[in-house]
Amino acid sequence: MSNLQGIFVKGAEAYGRLVEVFIDGHWWVVGDYLENVGKCTKRLGANAYPHLYGGSSMQSSFRGSSPERAGYATPTKEIEKRFNS
C-alpha cells in the first residue's frame, strides 16, 4: 500500500465494470423474457382470434371434418364394408 495514487479512480473503474455487466445481463434476461411473452401472446391470440391474424374463422375450420362434406376425399366404400374387409 505504498502507492495509493489513483486508488479512487481504479476503484470507480472496477465498480463501473461490475455495474455495466450487471445491468447488461439484466437487460439481456428481461429482453428474452419479453420476447417470449410476446411470442406466446401472439400464438394464444392467433388461436383465440384467427381472423385477426389472417387465418380462417373457427367455424370454417370445423367445417369439413367429414370427407363427404369437405370434398377433400370421397369415400370408396360404405362404412359397414370398411370394417368387414
Residue 28 maps to a domain? yes
Residues 61, 64, 65: CA angle, nearest 5 degrees: 90
- 30-63 pLDDT tens trace: 999 999 998 988 888 888 887 877 765 555 555 5
Q: How far apart are CA 40 and CA 2, in angstroms?
A: 59
Q: Is residue 55 part of a domain?
A: no
* Mean pLDDT value across residues 67-77: 62
Q: Domain of residue 42: give its range.
A: 7-50+61-84
Of 3, 65, 68, nearest to 76 (Cα)? 68
Q: How many domains does the chain have?
A: 1
- pLDDT, tens digit, for every residue of 1-18? 566 778 888 889 999 999
| Residue 13 domain flag | yes
Residue type, 82: R
- Give the angle 10-12-13 at the CA atoms, nearest 5°: 65
